[in-house]
Amino acid sequence: MRSIIALPDKRLRQESSPIKCFDDGLKELASEMQAAMLEGPGGVGIAAPQIGEMSSVVLVDCRQTKRPCDNHGLLFLVNPEIISLTGGEVLGREGCLSAPKWTGMVPRTRDIHLRYRNLKGDEQELKSSGFEARVIQHEIDHLHGVLFIDRMISTRDLVRRTP
């Protein structure tokens, strides 16, 4: 079981590499990510760098959220690439398994259209909106060493989570 790495770990600031082999190792990474996410509080997504694997894989799972959004179920996005971000910016509260004590208000684009590969290596496209689109943007940021605190308009919006 791999544990989640948290700030100020420098790996969270690195660029991830694309997946080239769609093999059993990738499936194992995917299940390790899912297990690590479920250990955290209310996890709706996780990116491979958060368990110390600098690979372009994210998991998004909005099946349990009460926030309004598209819900595509359990999504493993390998080598995700954003095709377009549309619909204007919306402010919303975000947290992160790698900054577990804090939440903050972050502007994100409402709609996202992306291209990615599934765990078998098939090319896929997805359009999403609302909270799920927010989570996808948050997780793709992790692949480029970007954290939600970087996108906040003001760090005065940072709120300490109540235990």
Instruction: Please pick, from the candidates 26, 29, 48, 96, the single residue that binds Zn ion as defined by CB under 5 A.
Output: 96
First to last CA, the chain: 24
Of the CA atoms within 13 Å of residue 40, those in its CB half-sphere come to: 23
Q: How far is the CB of 38 from Zn ion (least distance, A)?
A: 15
Q: Tell me: does residue 12 bind Zn ion (CB under 5 A).
A: no
Q: How many residues bind Zn ion, per CB under 5 A?
A: 1
| Closer to Zn ion by Cβ: residue 21 or 42 | 42
CA–CA separation, 125 vs 114, rounded Å?
A: 6
Q: Is 53 a catalytic residue?
A: no
Of the CA atoms within 13 Å of residue 20, those in its CB half-sphere come to: 1
Segment 64-83, which members bind Zn ion (CB under 5 A)? none
| Closer to Zn ion by Cβ: residue 57 or 96 | 96
Q: How far is the CB of 96 from Zn ion (least distance, A)?
A: 3
In the chain, DSSP assigns E strands to 45-47, 57-61, 74-95, 102-117, 123-129, 159-160
| Closer to Zn ion by Cβ: residue 19 or 47 | 47
Q: Tell me: does residue 143 bind Zn ion (CB under 5 A).
A: no
Q: How far is the CB of 92 from Zn ion (least distance, A)?
A: 14
Q: Tell me: does residue 4 bind Zn ion (CB under 5 A).
A: no
Assigned token pair, 1: 């079981």
Residue type, 81: E
From 53, 94, 132, 139, active-site residue:
139
Q: How far is the CB of 45 from Zn ion (least distance, A)?
A: 7
Helix, strand, coil percent content, the chain, rounded in steps of 5? 25, 35, 35
Of all residues in the shown chain, the one whose CB is closest to Zn ion is: 96
Residue 14: DSSP 8-state: S
Q: Which residues are catalytic?
A: 139
Which residues sit at the interface with Zn ion, rule CB under 5 A?
Answer: 96
